[in-house]
Structure 1
């Protein structure tokens, strides 16, 4: 495999792990500035832990605190909503309270 083939395989490897939401072209150092997003696995874990508490309605504050414990960052409204949707899909009665 020549140099071109090796470079192509390295680029293919890097592109496979390129985060969604990042521009296809641009400066790689800007990737460090992208906000962290709660993964689907983390959303499931957070929702499962909240549902297991079995203590009255789950508030947005409860969801936000659980997200912060996982990410060490303040959650966005979208992240809170993702956990709320997961709780609903798990059969949790009602929407979490504000």
Structure 2
């Protein structure tokens, strides 16, 4: 089943922010950021696609464990901010700029 255009755009954005793949230390904060805008099922789909292509070195069980950790225990604010800053340079296409003139990575991508 092909991935939805919205999720494909998110995957492209993540690959731009993590051209060498997502390091293990960023799995949980990254999923926490995604869960602010996406359903658990959409997060699972994105994680599965990244895992299938090697951008997220994890398997289906690892992904489920990561999502459970995010659901039950949010990562530290500093971890989330580290990941947010990593991705700031690759904001959602067409997202509005923040007051400081930089795109806001917390904005959701445009509807396909």
Q: What is the TM-score with the length of structure 2 in the denominator? A: 0.31
- Choose 1 or 2 for highest CA Rg: 1
